[in-house]
């Protein structure tokens, strides 16, 4: 399992990586569905807490696999088998998500599935430590750090109480493992490959938004709701998803991964990008429920279920994808986020949010043409 070159030409995602992503669709869908139902029943705080914890487990396992594969994917039989174990762990996590939203604490399926995913990574790092002497210390640090964190996660099952502070400390420990390991020597991840992998997961979470909204519309129609009453939410939801796609893929991102410090910020910051994009689907589902009078939540809170994640998405991209050539249009992202939040108090927040995002795209394209860039 020798390290792959970060300058390897034509590096793209493999079929196994694509399978890995598709299996994670199940876990992300369950997390978004849990948030949707919690918010619709006016359990906003509990829903957000459960969603943040579940999504962290899913995202962190995906991210560690992605960066490891970018540096060490040799596609041999042991590597494939280890990935299959990780996929199995993701399915176990997905099975435990509904009960976690009910009990508001991690259960055996969530922790057990997560540990299965992460211990498979320990095996991968131990293989890398033997095959790559130059980065042997780094690989062993990864293996040791991940193993210790799994012991701590299992220990949380035996605590008489569990809450956000305990989870936050454990999550912080996970985040510190790569920072500690990479100080020994840096792994040889591929910038183009990493940017593509993140883009693929963005497509998945945007697809989840469409799926969540579609399921909500189908349920509303089956309950006798008229499409005319749902039309503003449907049109606005489509505009939101289309515009979010356009904004994210506005420029290739590989040239932003020029230093390890920026790569850490960019990679970690995407937790909020992915979580916000998936939460938009949950918010659209709440908006559909509200339009059909099937939600316990008030109109303003239902509007916030859409406008808050959209605004978070815009602000995070404004921070993570900032470029020198964006100076003339740099204020557009925060300004659009503020306008989106203001639409919460209109009669059709989803529709006006969609119109705001579509306008943002149009303005950005106009500025680009004025600068001589016609893409």
- Give the per-residue pLDDT at 293: 64
**Most confident segment among 40-49, 195-204, 257-266:** 195-204
- Show which of 182, 201, 225 is a domain's final residue: 182
Q: Is residue 200 part of a domain?
A: yes
Tell me the pLDDT tens digit for each residue of 181-209. Answer: 999 999 999 999 999 999 999 999 998 88
- Give the per-residue pLDDT at 231: 86
Q: Is residue 7 part of a domain?
A: no
Q: Which domain holds residue 143?
A: 15-182
User: How many whole angstroms separate alpha carbon 83 and alpha carbon 86?
Assistant: 5
Mean pLDDT of the chain: 88
Copy the structure tokens of residue 369: 């043409």
pTM of the shown model: 0.91
Same domain, 259 and 319: yes
Q: Is residue 331 part of a domain?
A: yes
325 against 271, higher pLDDT = 271
70 against 229, higher pLDDT = 70
Q: Is residue 304 part of a domain?
A: yes
Same domain, 347 and 241: yes
In CATH, what number is assigned to the domain containing residue 267? 1.20.1410
- Give the per-residue pLDDT at 19: 93
Q: Is residue 255 part of a domain?
A: yes
In DSSP notation, 302-366 reads HHHHHHHHHHHHHHHHHHHT--GGGGGGTTHHHHHHHHHHHGGGSS-HHHHHHHHHHHHHHHHHH
Same domain, 177 and 198: no
Tell me the pLDDT tens digit for each residue of 13-44. Answer: 999 999 999 888 888 888 888 898 888 888 88
User: How many whole angstroms separate alpha carbon 35 and alpha carbon 98?
Assistant: 10
- Show which of 155, 182, 209 is a domain's final residue: 182
Q: Is residue 40 part of a domain?
A: yes
Tell me the pLDDT tens digit for each residue of 223-250. Answer: 677 777 788 888 999 999 999 999 999 8
Same domain, 132 and 210: no
- DSSP 8-state assignment for residue 253: -
Calculated CA dihedral for residues 273, 276, 281, 284, nearest 10 degrees: -130
Same domain, 74 and 92: yes
- Give the per-residue pLDDT at 375: 54
Percent of the chain past pLDDT 70, that is, above it, reads 94
Task: Using pLDDT thresholds of 50, 70 and 90, give the confidence band for residue 294.
Answer: low
Tell me the pLDDT tens digit for each residue of 211-220. Answer: 877 877 777 7
Same domain, 295 and 201: yes
Tell me the pLDDT tens digit for each residue of 105-142. Answer: 777 888 899 999 999 999 999 999 999 999 999 999 99
Task: Using pLDDT thresholds of 50, 70 and 90, give the confidence band for residue 174.
Answer: very high
Same domain, 66 and 140: yes
- DSSP 8-state assignment for residue 106: -
- Give the per-residue pLDDT at 85: 95
Copy the structure tokens of residue 52: 């943040």
- Show which of 131, 157, 182 is a domain's final residue: 182
Same domain, 172 and 197: no
Same domain, 76 and 144: yes
Q: Is residue 268 part of a domain?
A: yes
Give burial (CB, 10 Å; 0-12/13-18/19+) of 360: buried
Q: Is residue 10 part of a domain?
A: no
Task: Using pLDDT thresholds of 50, 70 and 90, give the confidence band for residue 258.
Answer: confident
Same domain, 198 and 173: no
Calculated CA dihedral for residues 197, 173, 308, 330, nearest 10 degrees: -60
Copy the structure tokens of residue 22: 């598709």
Same domain, 163 and 202: no
Same domain, 231 and 111: no
Count of the separate structural domains present in the chain:
2
- Give the per-residue pLDDT at 353: 97
């Amino acid at each position: 399992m020798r390290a792959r070159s970060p300058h390897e030409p034509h590096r793209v995602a493999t079929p196994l990586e694509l399978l890995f992503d598709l299996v994670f669709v199940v876990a992300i869908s369950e997390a978004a569905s849990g948030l949707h139902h919690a918010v619709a029943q006016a359990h906003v705080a509990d829903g957000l807490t459960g969603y943040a914890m579940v999504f962290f487990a899913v995202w962190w396992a995906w991210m560690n696999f992605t960066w490891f594969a970018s540096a060490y994917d040799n596609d041999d039989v042991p590597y494939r088998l280890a990935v299959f174990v990780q996929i199995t762990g993701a399915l176990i996590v997905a099975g435990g998500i509904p009960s976690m939203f009910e009990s508001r604490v991690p259960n055996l399926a969530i922790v057990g599935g997560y540990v299965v995913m992460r211990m498979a990574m320990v095996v991968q790092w131990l293989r890398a430590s033997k095959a790559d002497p130059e980065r042997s210390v780094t690989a062993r640090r990864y293996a040791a750090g991940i193993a210790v964190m799994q012991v701590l996660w299992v220990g949380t099952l035996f605590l008489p109480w569990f809450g956000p502070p305990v989870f936050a400390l454990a999550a912080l420990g996970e985040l510190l493992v790569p920072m500690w390991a990479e100080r020994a020597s840096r792994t040889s991840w591929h910038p183009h490959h990493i940017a593509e992998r993140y883009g693929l997961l963005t497509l998945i979470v945007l697809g989840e938004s469409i799926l969540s909204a579609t399921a909500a519309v189908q349920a509303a129609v089956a309950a006798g709701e008229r499409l005319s009453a749902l039309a503003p939410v449907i049109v606005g939801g489509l505009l939101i998803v289309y515009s979010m796609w356009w904004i994210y893929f506005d420029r290739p991102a590989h040239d932003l991964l020029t230093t390890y410090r920026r790569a850490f910020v960019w990679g970690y910051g995407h937790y909020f990008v992915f979580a916000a994009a998936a939460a938009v689907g949950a918010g659209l589902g709440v908006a559909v429920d509200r339009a059909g009078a099937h939600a316990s939540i008030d109109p303003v809170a239902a509007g916030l279920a859409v406008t808050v994640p959209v605004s978070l998405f815009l602000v995070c991209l404004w921070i993570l994808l900032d470029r020198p050539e964006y100076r003339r249009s740099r204020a557009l992202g925060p300004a659009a986020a503020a306008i989106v939040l203001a639409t919460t108090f209109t009669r059709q927040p989803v529709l006006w949010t969609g119109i705001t995002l579509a306008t943002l795209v149009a303005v950005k394209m106009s500025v680009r043409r004025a600068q001589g860039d016609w893409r």
